[in-house]
């Protein structure tokens, strides 16, 4: 049974629209007029909360003068000199429990120097005007398929369901939060912390473009787009145990994911038909199920999705220190054996949508129950939890979003962390700290072949891997 502090009330987006959020009826043009007034253009509450700890939405973020890609973003964040207003650790976690997730509480109570530094909240996530326009059209035009989990229609790029009526709609908003046409990162590391009693990390370096075919500037209906919602080719650069391996993974709006893997010892590409959902990533000692990437990755068809409501919780935000790529930044001073150095993290109080997932009858998953916390301003997954087959809290994860200025201030992320509360290990992915190379997001393809569907083929995977 939930504690009193965790009883989640349905929060009205605006007093006149509270009932519309939970009724399974179509929205009208009148509903759409809330966007840009009582609601932000993507459906968040414009107003702050009652005590002022969550302020009114500010609009799009912009860097301080002088920033360009290749310069450390944190130096150009206008609130970079702020200090924490509070800190949460094992000694006072119960005091703040009503604004924490069960996973955060469990993690704090393990001790090990864990701490959450709380900073003032800045609601500066914005989007390009074409995203706003598509989002407004989606109020009356977007819909799920009759099966309740596939996407039948939407105008993209945009938020499919800015006035969500169920959990599946919120998850589609999260899956399709604006990322431009994609991003590229060269030399990032995936980290798996050492086993108990060992000092040995798993930490391959990788190169990866990530392509979102629906993210190009303008407006297209789902039926006018390629069937894939994401496409990527990643290549392992080092160490020797990983070097030369690579994979092509494509996820689809309404079909199964597809994976091709290059094995250098065999000099061949193999199709891996079951490399999806909770399948473990190769080489990660069963610590990294595929579908925990980015908070959630892949199809949503194995679960029933319950929209619980809204809650105010502390989540990572404006997490610039996680993206400090400068070579003077020592990766393992930030990523320690017990977890992320608290000084590298920034938490703010945010409103999130809470969605519970329960595995469908006849389906299987190693985590039959899951909870997701989706930020109202950006529609990114801010935090998540997985429970094991006995109902015990197993994994907790957080993402590290920032306003991405090359995307017009849209808040998104690449980096995330996942903690296994049972074996004590954790994963941190898309770590660029100390690499000397920043992640680059792209608003438009502009002839870059990495942002075209024909780049993502098994033939190209092999050609790239054998160079």
Break the chain into its structural domains and give their ranges: 15-465
pLDDT band at 25 (very low <50, low <70, confident <90, very high): low
Give the pLDDT of residue 240.
95
Spatial separation of the C-alpha atoms in residues 87 and 82, rounded to whole Å:
14
Please report the beta strands in 284-423, taking only residues with DSSP state E, as ranges in sequence order. 303-316, 335-336, 339-340, 347-359, 369-375, 381-387, 393-399, 402-404, 410-412, 416-420
Q: Kindly tell me if the per-residue pLDDT of 19 is higher than 80.
A: no
Percent of the chain with pLDDT over 90: 93
Backbone torsions φ then ψ of 271, nearest 5 degrees: -80, 135
Q: Kindly tell me if the per-residue pLDDT of 8 is higher than 60.
A: no
Give the pLDDT of residue 72.
98
Q: Which helix (H) or strand (E) holds 358?
A: strand 347-359
Q: Kindly tell me if the per-residue pLDDT of 10 is higher than 80.
A: no
Q: Read off the pLDDT of residues 376-425 as tens digits, 9 standing for 90 and up.
A: 999 999 999 999 999 999 999 999 999 999 999 999 999 999 999 999 99
For range 78-98, the mean pLDDT: 98
CATH topology for the 15-465 domain? outer membrane lipoprotein receptor (LolB), chain A (2.50.20)
How far lies 255's CA from each of 243, 431, 433, in Å?
A: 31, 30, 35
How far lies 112's CA from each of 326, 422, 424, in Å?
A: 27, 15, 11
Instruction: Output 97 or 29, whichever has higher pLDDT.
Output: 97
The CB density around residue 295, as the number of other CB atoms within 10 Å, is 22
Q: Kindly tell me if the per-residue pLDDT of 60 is higher than 50.
A: yes
DSSP 8-state assignment for residue 194: P
For range 176-195, the mean pLDDT: 98
Give the pLDDT of residue 15.
34
Q: Which helix (H) or strand (E) holds 463?
A: helix 458-465
Instruction: Output 99 or 24, whichever has higher pLDDT.
Output: 99
pLDDT band at 148 (very low <50, low <70, confident <90, very high): very high
Spatial separation of the C-alpha atoms in residues 154 and 220, rounded to whole Å:
8
Average pLDDT, the chain: 94
End-to-end CA distance of the chain: 57
Give the pLDDT of residue 314.
99
For range 177-195, the mean pLDDT: 98
DSSP 8-state assignment for residue 4: G
For range 250-279, the mean pLDDT: 96
The CB density around residue 199, as the number of other CB atoms within 10 Å, is 7
Tell me the pTM.
Answer: 0.94
DSSP 8-state assignment for residue 286: T
Q: Kindly tell me if the per-residue pLDDT of 41 is higher than 50.
A: yes
Q: Kindly tell me if the per-residue pLDDT of 1 is higher than 80.
A: no
Classify residue 53 as left (phi > 0), alpha (psi -120 to 50) or beta.
alpha
389 within 8 A of 422, measured Cβ to Cβ: no
Instruction: Output 175 or 8, whichever has higher pLDDT.
Output: 175
Q: Kindly tell me if the per-residue pLDDT of 3 is higher than 50.
A: no
Q: Which of 5, 48, 349, 351 is nearest to 170 (CA)?
A: 351
For range 56-76, the mean pLDDT: 96
Q: Kindly tell me if the per-residue pLDDT of 20 is higher than 70.
A: no
């Amino acid at each position: 049974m939930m504690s009193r502090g965790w009883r989640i009330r349905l929060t009205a987006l605006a007093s006149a629209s509270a009932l519309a959020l939970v009724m399974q009826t179509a929205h009208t043009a009148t509903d759409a007029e809330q966007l840009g007034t009582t609601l932000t253009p993507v459906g968040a509450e414009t107003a702050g909360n009652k005590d002022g700890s969550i302020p009114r939405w500010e609009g799009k973020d912009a860097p301080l003068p002088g920033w360009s890609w290749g310069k450390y973003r944190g130096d150009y964040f206008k609130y970079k000199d702020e200090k924490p207003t509070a800190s949460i650790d094992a000694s006072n976690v119960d005091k703040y429990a009503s604004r924490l997730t069960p996973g955060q509480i469990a993690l704090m109570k393990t001790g090990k120097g864990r701490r959450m530094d709380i900073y003032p909240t800045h609601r500066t996530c914005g989007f390009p005007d074409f995203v706003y326009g598509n989002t407004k059209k989606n109020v009356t035009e977007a819909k799920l398929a009759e099966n309740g989990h596939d996407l039948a229609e939407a105008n993209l790029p945009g938020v499919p369901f800015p006035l969500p009526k169920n959990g599946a709609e919120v998850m589609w908003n999260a899956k399709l939060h604006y990322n431009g046409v994609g991003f590229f990162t060269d030399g990032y590391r995936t980290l798996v912390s050492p086993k108990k009693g060992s000092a040995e990390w798993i930490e391959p370096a990788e190169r990866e473009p990530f392509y979102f075919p629906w993210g190009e500037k303008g407006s297209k209906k789902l039926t006018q787009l390629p069937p894939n919602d994401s496409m990527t080719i990643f290549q392992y650069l080092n160490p020797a145990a990983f070097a030369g391996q690579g994979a092509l993974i494509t996820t689809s709006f309404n079909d199964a994911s597809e994976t091709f893997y290059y094995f250098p010892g065999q000099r061949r590409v193999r199709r891996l038909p079951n490399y999806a959902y909770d399948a473990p990533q190769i080489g990660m000692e069963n610590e990294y199920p595929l579908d925990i990437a980015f908070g959630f990755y892949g199809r949503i068809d194995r679960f029933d999705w319950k929209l619980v409501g809204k809650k105010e919780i502390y989540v990572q935000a404006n997490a610039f220190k996680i993206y400090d790529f400068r070579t003077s930044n020592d990766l393992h001073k930030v990523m320690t054996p017990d977890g992320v150095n608290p000084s590298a993290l920034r938490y703010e109080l945010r409103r999130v949508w809470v969605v519970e997932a329960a595995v469908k009858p006849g389906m299987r998953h190693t985590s039959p129950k899951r909870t997701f916390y989706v930020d109202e301003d950006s529609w990114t997954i801010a935090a998540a939890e997985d429970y094991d087959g006995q109902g015990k809290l197993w994994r907790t994860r957080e993402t590290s979003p920032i306003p991405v200025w090359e995307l017009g201030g849209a808040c998104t992320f690449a980096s995330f962390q996942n903690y296994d509360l049972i074996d004590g290990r954790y994963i941190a992915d898309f770590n660029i700290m100390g690499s000397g190379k920043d992640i680059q997001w792209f608003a438009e393809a502009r002839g870059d072949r990495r942002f075209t569907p024909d780049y993502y083929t098994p033939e190209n995977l092999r050609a790239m891997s054998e160079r």
